[in-house]
Amino acid sequence: MSKKGMNRRQFVKAGLMTAAAAALGPAVLKPTSLWAAESKVKGPIKLGYQTVLSGTLAGYGEFHKMGAIMAMEEINTAGGIAGNKLEIEFRDSTLKAPDAIQNARYFVDSWGADFLAGIDSSGQALALAPVMAELDRVLMVTHAATEKLTEEQVFKNGVKQIFRIVTPTYQDGNAAAFVAKDLPVKTWATINPKYEYGFTCWNMFKETLSALKKDVTFTAESWAPFGTTDFRSHINTIMDAKPEGLYSVEWAGELITMVKQGIQAGLFNQVKHVMFPVGAAMDVLEGLGAEMPDNIWISGRYYFLYPNDKSNNDWVERFHKRWQHYPAYVSEGAYSTMYAFKKAVEAAGSKETKAVVGALEGMTLDSPAGKRVFRKEDHQAMYDVPWGLTVSNPKYPFKIMGKQVMVPAKDCFARPPFEGPGTKPPFKA
Amino acid sequence: MLQSIVHVCLAGLSQGMFIWLVASGLTLIFGVLGVLNFAHGSFYMLGAYFCFMVLRALGENFWWGLLLGPVCVAAVGYLVERFFLRRVYGLELPYQLLLTFAFVLLFDDLVKIFWGAASIGTPPAPGLADSIMILGRRFPSYNLFVIAVGPLLALGLWGLLEKTWAGRIIRASSSDREMASALGVKVPTLFTAVFVFGTWLGALGGGLAVPYLGLLTPGMGEQIIIEAFVVAVIGGLGSLKGAFLGALVIGLLSAFGTRFLPTFDMFLTFILMAGVLLWRPQGFFGEAR
């Protein structure tokens, strides 16, 4: 009861401050924007980063932080962003939408953030979109994967402040379907998360695979609520349906638990073709170690051994030296985010939202994951991540990708305007 | 079909036994001390982490971890009761809730500081790492062990409370604290003992979960404590018999729901709880207050 009162007071305070900021904002900011082209960027550059730092998924947040901090250290040692120091403040996103909004408002209204980044949950990303338009700061999404964010919020509703540096559900649904079409599998089933992300991916996988291959059927679905620790009933459902292929975007600890319980139940002896679109995440590879079965198809938003070139291999080595971990995909996303902002601010000669949005649109970024291009229409970064089959390697205490298949982003990412013929894969050459 | 039903039953039973282990400590502490201990889920988590720590130290042997880990957590429970909880017995319920909730946050962060935020994969239990064939499908032998441990523990608790001198004192104090005290029972010592024992039960649940889940994560107590609360409410807060039955019902309901009514599986548990609260607010075996 007293809690409610406190919230209301905070709410009123936040509301007043926002109103004041909105009233003062244009008047205060105008002169800077006029002179932005000639005047140098005034620092420091402040970036508010929110990710999950509590609960069972807190490990993900730590991996975000490692990437972001490492980039900040490197950038500041090398002279900062346009001569200004980069400062990052981290806050716990808790995966709940109201907390994400509160954090964003705190960052911008109280702390004075120039840029925002982070966000793990699709629900949070969608809830933040209108808030970012109002706060008018660029938000670089480094994990949340729903395609609705870029297709609907950025492209359709024109929320220009949002960009996404990592692959969205296209990689999990569409790219998986391209890999699946070449497998000797006619019946597919799924154990998937019982929320937005799980539903979207399974639908995308079904639609794209049906378009690519005529004689496939989808025989069983078992939906596991967030926080499932016992997958045995779900595994029973799949084993009763006897599919030839299993598709699952379970992730993090839940994927680890599901695989371990699947091994105990003999799931992987019965179902020979298994696809885990986010199975190449470092926490899963490390968490399962040698227990991960061989010949499972895995992918992610970045895979630490791809591309196998000097730039990426050097980065992985530096990262391992700094943190005694191999980089998770969220680490790479957070790391590259800092360099994306550096490049955009320096190109625009300004840290102002409008100028930075203009610089980011269509910008090419050389990053550990390879060359990224921020698509102008929907602000989605285009880059390629491989799919591969798990195999042991004496160099690592966990399974890595053996045989790899590449489905390029240009073939599996939906294309603007996202509606009507020719916007969804497969595309005609 | 028979194969499927039997396996769903087995999955439900093992799920139920974990909830029972956690709910038993929760409901015992409530029955005797009258404290609704939010931190009980944290003791479950600590049980798992301490078990892991001991098994690492003693040659990757899970059984040492299960034996010693929960005892370490019981010692933590002693400190919590002796130096913190004891000070709020006389105060209103919200103070107790706040204090135990503070421990939830504290333990979550301590686990992150000591063991890191990333999840940790754990080894299977020596001797029970295999699966056995039941009607042509594999079922982990470790889960059969858990299904056996649950009722044994229930039997042990029943014997302790009904057949021993200590049990009689506990029952006497829980039904009338002041009268017991007037008759010479050292109530504060008894409370500490019961809290430590309840903590050990929760930690034992956590220890047993280590090979079952195959990984440890900070915050792993959050999910189970909700289920344990539901079970304790359905069974009647303070009633061990009720908690046992409630855990069985919830475990089986959720397993059958997942398999045969997948759209409503999350719903079923809470429908049951709402129903019980409406028509029998004291729970299956609770006494009307």
Q: Contact at 8 Å (CB) between A234 and B256?
A: no
pLDDT of residue A36: 41
Query: Is the backbone of residue A362 left (phi > 0), alpha (psi -120 to 50) or beta?
Result: left
Better pLDDT: A358 or A38: A358
Structure tokens at A284: 């899963």
Residue A263's SS3 state is helix
Residue A419 domain-assigned?
no
pLDDT of residue A22: 47
Q: Contact at 8 Å (CB) between A415 and A409?
A: no
Q: Is pLDDT at A257 greater than 70 in this prediction? A: yes
pLDDT of residue A164: 98
Q: What residues in chain A have their Cβ under 8 A from chain B's Cβ atoms? A: 53-59, 61-63, 194, 221-223, 225, 227, 229-230, 232-234, 236-237, 239-240, 252-253, 256-257, 260-261, 264-266, 283, 286-289, 291
The number of C-alpha atoms within 13 Å of B161 and in the hemisphere containing its C-beta is 21
Q: Which of A63, A239, A283 sits opposite B137 (nearest CB)?
A: A239
Residue A425 domain-assigned?
no
| Pairwise CA distance, residues A177 & A190, whole Å | 13
Residues across chain A: 429
pLDDT of residue B175: 81
Which residue do the tokens 């064939």 mark? B133
Q: Contact at 8 Å (CB) between B251 and B72?
A: no
* Mode of pairing for the β-strands spanning A387-391 and A217-224: unpaired
Q: Is pLDDT at A17 greater than 80 in this prediction? A: no
Here the contacts of A77-80 (C-beta below 8 Å, separation 24 or greater) are A80/A43, A80/A44, A80/A45
Q: What residues in chain B have their Cβ under 8 A from chain A's Cβ atoms? A: 4, 7-8, 10-12, 14-15, 108, 112, 116-121, 131, 137-140, 142-143, 213-215, 217-220, 222-224, 254-256, 258-259, 262, 265-266
CA distance B196 to chain A (A): 25
| Pairwise CA distance, residues B10 & B212, whole Å | 14
Does one domain contain both A258 and A317? no
Q: Is pLDDT at A114 greater than 90 in this prediction? A: yes
Which of B252, B258, B259, B270 should we substitute to test contact with A (largest number of A Cβ atoms within 10 Å)? Answer: B258
| Residue of chain B whose Cα is closest to the Cα of A264 | B140
pLDDT of residue A27: 42
Better pLDDT: A7 or B85: B85
> Domains, chain B, ranges and CATH?
8-119+139-279 (1.10.3470)
Per residue in A159-215, pLDDT (tens digit) is 999 999 999 999 999 999 999 999 999 999 999 999 889 999 999 999 999 999 999
Burial class (CB in 10 A: 0-12, 13-18, 19+), A143: buried
A110: how many CB neighbours lie within 10 A of its CB?
10
Domains identified in chain A, total number: 2
Does one domain contain both A115 and A8? yes
Burial class (CB in 10 A: 0-12, 13-18, 19+), A30: exposed
Does one domain contain both A78 and A210? no
- Give, rounded to a whole angstrom, the gap between the first and last alpha carbons of chain B: 45
Q: How far is CA B6 from CA A64, A220, A393, B135, in A?
A: 44, 20, 39, 8
Does one domain contain both A267 and A213? yes
pLDDT of residue A37: 41
Could A62 and B219 be called an inter-chain contact, meaning their C-beta atoms sit closer than 8 Å? Answer: no
Q: Contact at 8 Å (CB) between B223 and B266?
A: no
Q: Contact at 8 Å (CB) between A175 and A406?
A: no
Structure tokens at A144: 């949340």
pLDDT of residue A13: 52
Residue A28 domain-assigned?
no
Which of A222, A233, A288, A292 should we substitute to test contact with B (largest number of B Cβ atoms within 10 Å)? Answer: A233
B131: how many CB neighbours lie within 10 A of its CB?
18
pLDDT of residue B259: 86
Burial class (CB in 10 A: 0-12, 13-18, 19+), B3: middle
* Residue A206 DSSP one-character state: H
Does one domain contain both A251 and A395? yes
Does one domain contain both A151 and A243? no
CA distance A282 to chain B (A): 10
Residue A34 domain-assigned?
no
CA distance B205 to chain A (A): 14
Residue A47 domain-assigned?
yes
Per residue in B72-83, pLDDT (tens digit) is 999 999 999 999
Among A19-28, A397-406, B129-138, name the most confident range: A397-406
- Complex-level ipTM: 0.83
Q: Contact at 8 Å (CB) between A187 and A216?
A: yes
Q: Which of A53, A252, A287 sits opposite B121 (nearest CB)?
A: A287
pLDDT of residue B273: 87
Burial class (CB in 10 A: 0-12, 13-18, 19+), A308: exposed
Does one domain contain both A174 and A140? no
Q: Which domain holds residue A183?
A: 170-306+385-412
Does one domain contain both A338 and A247? no
Does one domain contain both A162 and A175? no
| Residue of chain A whose Cα is closest to the Cα of B255 | A233
Q: Which of A59, A260, A266 sits opposite B131 (nearest CB)?
A: A266
- At A337, which helix (H) or strand (E)? helix A329-348
pLDDT band, residue A2 (cuts 50/70/90): very low
pLDDT band, residue A5 (cuts 50/70/90): very low
Residue A244 domain-assigned?
yes
Q: How far is CA A2 from CA A5, B91, B94, B153, in A?
A: 5, 18, 12, 42
Residues A87-110: what's their mean pLDDT?
96
Which residue do the tokens 């053996």 mark? A402
- Residue (of B134, B110, B150) closest to B231 by Cα position: B150
Q: Contact at 8 Å (CB) between B17 and B150?
A: yes
pLDDT of residue B288: 58
Average confidence score pLDDT of chain A? 91
Give every CB contact of residue A420 below 8 A, 6+ residues apart in sequence.
none
- Residue (of A118, A174, A128, A170) closest to A153 by Cα position: A128
Q: Is pLDDT at A397 greater than 50 in this prediction? A: yes
Does one domain contain both A390 and A255? yes
pLDDT of residue A10: 52
pLDDT of residue B3: 86
| Pairwise CA distance, residues B186 & B173, whole Å | 10
User: What phi, psi does A246 have (nearest 5°)?
Assistant: -125, 130
Q: Contact at 8 Å (CB) between A414 and A147?
A: yes
Which residue do the tokens 């900062």 mark? A80
Could A286 and B7 be called an inter-chain contact, meaning their C-beta atoms sit closer than 8 Å? Answer: no
Judged by average pLDDT, the poorest of A31-35, A120-124, B185-189 is A31-35
Could A240 and B4 be called an inter-chain contact, meaning their C-beta atoms sit closer than 8 Å? Answer: yes
pLDDT of residue B260: 87
Give every CB contact of residue A79 below 8 A, 6+ residues apart in sequence.
none
Residues A240-258: what's their mean pLDDT?
95
Residue A83 domain-assigned?
yes
Residue B266 with chain A: CB contacts under 8 Å: 194, 225
Q: Is pLDDT at A7 greater than 70 in this prediction? A: no
Residue B10 with chain A: CB contacts under 8 Å: 232
Structure tokens at A13: 């305070």
For residue A148, what is the domain's CATH number?
3.40.50.2300
pLDDT of residue B92: 85
Residue B121 with chain A: CB contacts under 8 Å: 256, 286-289, 291
- Work out the angle at residue B118's Cα, subtended by the Cα atoms of residues B112 and B119, and round it to the nearest 5 degrees: 105
pLDDT of residue A139: 98
Q: Which of B10, B117, B214 sits opposite A59 (nearest CB)?
A: B117
Structure tokens at B221: 């107590």
pLDDT of residue A1: 37
B116: how many CB neighbours lie within 10 A of its CB?
14
SS (H, E, C) chain B: CHHHHHHHHHHHHHHHHHHHHHHHHHHHHHHHHCCCCCCHHHHHHHHHHHHHHHHHHCCCCHHHHHHHHHHHHHHHHHHHHHHCHHHHCCCCHHHHHHHHHHHHHHHHHHHHHHHCCCCEECCCCCCCCCEEEECCEEEEHHHHHHHHHHHHHHHHHHHHHHHCHHHHHHHHHHHCHHHHHHCCCCHHHHHHHHHHHHHHHHHHHHHHHHHHHCEECCCCHHHHHHHHHHHHHHHCCCCHHHHHHHHHHHHHHHHHHHHHCHHHHHHHHHHHHHHHHHHCCCCCCCCCC
| Pairwise CA distance, residues B131 & A239, whole Å | 16
CA distance A224 to chain B (A): 8
- Residue (of B227, B170, B220, B225) closest to B196 by Cα position: B170
What single letter denotes the amino acid at residue A401?
A: M
Residue A379 domain-assigned?
no
Q: How far is CA B194 from CA A153, A306, A329, B10, B142, in A?
A: 56, 56, 47, 32, 29
| Pairwise CA distance, residues A355 & B286, whole Å | 66
CA distance A398 to chain B (A): 12
Which residue do the tokens 């360099």 mark? A339
Q: Contact at 8 Å (CB) between A162 and A413?
A: no
Could B215 and A260 be called an inter-chain contact, meaning their C-beta atoms sit closer than 8 Å? Answer: yes
The tens-digit pLDDT sequence of chain B (289 residues) is: 888 899 999 999 999 999 999 999 999 999 888 888 989 999 999 999 999 999 999 988 899 999 999 999 999 999 999 999 999 887 888 898 899 999 999 999 999 899 988 888 888 899 998 888 998 888 989 999 999 999 999 999 999 999 999 999 988 888 888 888 888 888 889 999 999 999 999 999 999 999 988 889 888 888 888 889 999 989 988 889 999 999 999 999 988 988 888 777 778 888 888 898 898 888 888 775 5
- Residue (of B24, B1, B45, B8) closest to B206 by Cα position: B45
Residue A55 with chain B: CB contacts under 8 Å: 108, 218-219, 222
What single letter denotes the amino acid at residue A319?
A: F
Residue A278's SS3 state is coil
Q: Is pLDDT at A113 greater than 90 in this prediction? A: yes
Q: Which of B8, B12, B121 sits opposite A256 (nearest CB)?
A: B121
Does one domain contain both A45 and A160? yes
Residue B210 with chain A: CB contacts under 8 Å: none
Residues A122-129: what's their mean pLDDT?
94
**DSSP character string of A104-131:** HHIIIIII--SEEEE---HHHHHHHHHH
Per residue in A354-366, pLDDT (tens digit) is 999 999 999 999 9
pLDDT band, residue A4 (cuts 50/70/90): very low
Residue B120 with chain A: CB contacts under 8 Å: 287
Residues A122-151: what's their mean pLDDT?
96
Does one domain contain both A291 and A188? yes
Share of chain A above pLDDT 90, in %: 83
Per residue in A316-340, pLDDT (tens digit) is 999 999 999 999 999 999 999 999 9
